[in-house]
Structure 1
Amino acid sequence: GENPKKPGAPNNVRLYSIASTRYGDYFDGKTTSLCVRRAVYYDPETGKEDPSKNGVCSNYLCNSKPGDKIKITG
């Protein structure tokens, strides 16, 4: 995908732990499950959320819906 913080640039590589078996969720080798926490930044001085510093990839994954296709490697 394209990096929304740097238009025209690809997203940086992210590392996540896979929560499903090596054979996938349905033992067909075509699916996987990830454990992802939404990264939200709060300014320590104001205590308010600063959306400009929210996690790009974690929010993309958390906003995805069942059935969305997401490219992974590894």
Structure 2
Amino acid sequence: MPPVLLSRGLDPLLGVFTGVLAYYLYESHPRNEVPPDERLTALIKWKYTKWRNEREQRLTTGNTDEIDLRALAAEVEEK
């Protein structure tokens, strides 16, 4: 019987590895013919570009919608 800690750590890794391998085989099998623009890599690139553009826009606008915690703390102390 293997140590409990070893199986606790290896089971999730084995599950993730198996899932990634299965999805790779699904996308690369010629019978499925997944178009290049509907593959996981295209989705990841699109999401990353979208996130990067939104982040850049937030950084350039000055984050006027964020709450100033110091000002709130000062208001609480005054009361």
Category of TM-score, reference length = shorter chain: under 0.3
Normalising by structure 1, we get a TM-score of: 0.21
Greater helix content? 2
